[in-house]
């Protein structure tokens, strides 16, 4: 008998094909990435690392051919080593890094490994506060890292930008070991140069080195596509990211760094220069066991795709689409946090726009095949059980090829659904509007089917 799981996978294929994905942290991977993920590499254990001593002149053929002694704890690594070295090499090239650790299973694992590499228990990290748009792994009290380290949060201004004065004031007060720029709901371009200057100013007054870390999970694809500044080019030592958002790879994490690259076997002195080696030791054996080599192969394939010239067009189109969608929404009466967007992400203040919260809007849009998520706004101050807004973005729909005219249609559908939510007043009452919602759903389905999902 066929496993029921495959029926459900087929149903998910239908859901993805017939709907439009607006969650800004999701995307559709290529057939090649899917193929690498579903390969026999999942059968292999490979704790440890291949031998990669920095940039070898970017000669892929040489990397794929050379068999080198490694730092692994299992035999049979001939092919695995070369695949992982290709992934490292491509990641370094994409992000101008001296070193890449491609093993983190997720973005959270990547961030935790950096904390473990650089901090001692009780040390302070200064990051964007969660209500301002920061991420759970940047110090939310419910996380393990928040039990071990001390997190201080900086905020955003009313205009939606990082409050750099607050950041500087707090850095001088709390004397952090890490200053962290990163977010999951922020629509501006960070001023990395300014943050580096703040770090240098604070570091001059303190006895310890301060690590500059950027969690660029949301915008890594925009950085790879050359349309967003790269923190490593502005003096940051470390950049973490997931590989599945704008970067359009498999689900996973990645840590890029600048500094000395050497064998992970010997514990180096804890200095900023040694951060790549400290990170390797913090990922394995520090916080993870065996790497997922099928995922690492898929990361290598995705990095290869992102190195191609057409990825630059993709990145440009993500932002173009987001800006058009934001403009159309504003024209229709939507209030957007930060008055629009400079990246792929839009945060709608549904409460201020129409008087209802993000949950009812998320549910109603789900009913017409548009997927996004209810999201707190800085004004909710972290206490909102029912957040005042929704978060959406354009990476996935841009992969499918939607462009200017479709953004206008999307905005109109979203306004129609907003009007329905306003009339309905509650999620339960949405059933009274089933006919209207189903009519829009038919239109969404018809459009979505014109833009096939890769791999389906
Ligand atoms: N869960 C991701 C997001 O949706 O932004 C962040 O990890």
Residue among 182, 183, 217, 247 to mutate when testing ligand 1 (max atoms within 8 A of CB): 217
Class of domain 33-306: alpha beta
Look at residue 70 in the predicted model and tell me its pLDDT: 94
Band (pLDDT 50/70/90 cuts) for residue 285 is very high
Residue 396 has pLDDT above 60, yes or no: yes
Class of domain 310-448: alpha beta
Give the mean model confidence (pLDDT) for residues 108-121: 98
Q: Whose CA is nearest to atom 5 of ligand 1?
A: 184
Using the atom order of ligand 1, give the atom closest to the CA of residue 107: 7
Band (pLDDT 50/70/90 cuts) for residue 383 is low
Band (pLDDT 50/70/90 cuts) for residue 348 is very high
DSSP string, 321-347: HHHHHHHHHHHTT--BGGGS-SSSEEE
Look at residue 53 in the predicted model and tell me its pLDDT: 66
Share of the chain above pLDDT 90, in %: 92
| Average pLDDT in the chain | 96
Band (pLDDT 50/70/90 cuts) for residue 218 is very high
pLDDT by residue (tens digit) across 299-331?
999 999 999 999 999 999 999 999 999 999 999
Look at residue 56 in the predicted model and tell me its pLDDT: 57
Band (pLDDT 50/70/90 cuts) for residue 385 is confident
Q: How far is 6 from 13, CA to CA, in rounded Å?
A: 10
Look at residue 190 in the predicted model and tell me its pLDDT: 98
Residue among 184, 247, 344, 371 to mutate when testing ligand 1 (max atoms within 8 A of CB): 184
Residue 369 has pLDDT above 70, yes or no: yes
Residue 179 has pLDDT above 90, yes or no: yes
Q: What's the 295 CA to ligand 1 centre distance in angstroms?
A: 19
The pTM for the full model equals 0.97
pLDDT by residue (tens digit) across 115-124?
999 999 999 9
Give the mean model confidence (pLDDT) for residues 101-114: 98
Using the atom order of ligand 1, give the atom closest to the CA of residue 23: 4
Residue 439 has pLDDT above 70, yes or no: yes
Look at residue 455 in the predicted model and tell me its pLDDT: 84
Give the mean model confidence (pLDDT) for residues 18-42: 98
Q: How far is 455 from 399, CA to CA, in rounded Å?
A: 12
The segment with the largest mean pLDDT, out of 51-55, 131-135, 309-313, is 309-313
Catalogue the active-site residues: 45, 47, 215, 242, 245, 251
Look at residue 32 in the predicted model and tell me its pLDDT: 98
Q: What's the 126 CA to ligand 1 centre distance in angstroms?
A: 20
Q: How far is 315 from 228, CA to CA, in rounded Å?
A: 9
Look at residue 2 in the predicted model and tell me its pLDDT: 86
Q: What's the 445 CA to ligand 1 centre distance in angstroms?
A: 26
Residues whose beta carbon lies within 6 Å of some atom of ligand 1:
25, 107, 135, 184
Residues 6+ apart with CB under 8 A from 181: 127, 128, 162, 190, 192, 195, 212, 213, 214, 215, 231, 236
Q: What's the 67 CA to ligand 1 centre distance in angstroms?
A: 38
Band (pLDDT 50/70/90 cuts) for residue 386 is confident
Helix (H, G, I), strand (E, B) or coil at 317: helix
Element (H, E) at 201: helix 192-204
Q: How far is 29 from 287, CA to CA, in rounded Å?
A: 27
The answer to whether 287 and 116 have CB atoms below 8 angstroms apart is yes
Helix (H, G, I), strand (E, B) or coil at 437: helix
Q: Whose CA is nearest to atom 3 of ligand 1?
A: 25
Burial degree of 331 (CB within 10 A; 0-12, 13-18, 19+): exposed
Chain centroid to Cα 210, Å, comes to 24
Listed in order, the ranges of the chain carrying CATH 3.40.640.10 are 33-306
Q: Whose CA is nearest to atom 2 of ligand 1?
A: 25
- Name the more confident of 196 and 68: 196
Element (H, E) at 256: strand 253-257
Q: Whose CA is nearest to atom 6 of ligand 1?
A: 184
């Amino acid at each position: 008998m066929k496993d029921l799981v495959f029926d459900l996978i087929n149903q998910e294929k239908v859901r993805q094909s017939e709907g439009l994905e607006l969650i800004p942290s999701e995307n559709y991977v290529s057939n090649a990435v899917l193929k690498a993920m579903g390969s026999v590499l999942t059968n292999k254990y490979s704790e440890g690392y291949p031998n990669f001593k920095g940039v070898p002149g970017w000669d892929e053929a040489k990397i794929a051919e050379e068999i080198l002694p490694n730092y692994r704890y299992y035999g049979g690594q001939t092919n695995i080593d070369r695949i992982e070295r290709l992934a490292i090499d491509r990641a370094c090239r994409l992000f101008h890094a001296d070193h890449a650790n491609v093993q983190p299973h997720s973005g959270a694992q990547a961030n935790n490994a950096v904390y473990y590499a650089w901090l001692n228990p009780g040390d302070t990290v200064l990051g964007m506060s969660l209500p301002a748009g920061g991420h759970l792994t940047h110090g939310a009290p419910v996380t393990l890292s928040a039990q071990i380290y001390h997190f201080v949060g900086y905020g955003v201004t009313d205009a939606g930008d990082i409050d750099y004065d607050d950041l500087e004031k707090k850095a001088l007060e709390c004397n952090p070991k890490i200053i962290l720029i990163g977010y999951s709901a922020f629509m501006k371009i960070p001023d990395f140069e300014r943050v580096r200057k703040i770090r240098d100013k604070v570091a001059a007054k303190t006895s310890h080195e301060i690590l500059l870390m950027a969690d660029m999970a949301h915008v890594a694809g925009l950085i790879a596509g050359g349309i967003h500044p790269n923190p490593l080019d502005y003096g940051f030592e470390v950049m973490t990211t997931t590989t599945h958002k704008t970067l359009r790879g498999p689900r996973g994490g990645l840590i890029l760094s600048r500094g000395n690259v050497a064998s992970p076997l010997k514990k180096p002195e804890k200095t900023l220069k040694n951060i790549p080696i400290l990170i390797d030791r913090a990922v394995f054996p520090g916080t993870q066991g065996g790497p997922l080599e099928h995922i690492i192969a898929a990361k290598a394939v995705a990095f290869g795709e992102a190195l191609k010239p057409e990825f630059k067009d993709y990145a440009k189109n993500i932002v173009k689409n987001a800006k058009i969608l934001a403009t159309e929404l504003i024209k229709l009466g939507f209030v957007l946090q930060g008055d629009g967007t400079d990246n792929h992400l839009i945060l709608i203040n549904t409460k201020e726009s129409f008087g209802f919260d993000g949950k009812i809007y998320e549910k109603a849009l789900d009913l017409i095949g548009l997927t996004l998520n209810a999201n707190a706004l800085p004004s909710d101050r972290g206490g909102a059980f029912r957040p005042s807004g929704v978060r959406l973005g354009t990476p996935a729909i841009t992969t499918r090829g939607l462009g200017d005219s479709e953004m206008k249609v999307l905005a109109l559908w979203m306004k129609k659904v907003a009007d329905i939510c306003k009339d309905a007043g509650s999620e339960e009452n949405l059933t009274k509007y089933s006919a209207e919602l189903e009519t829009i759903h038919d239109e969404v389905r018809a459009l979505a089917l014109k833009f096939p999902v890769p791999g389906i």
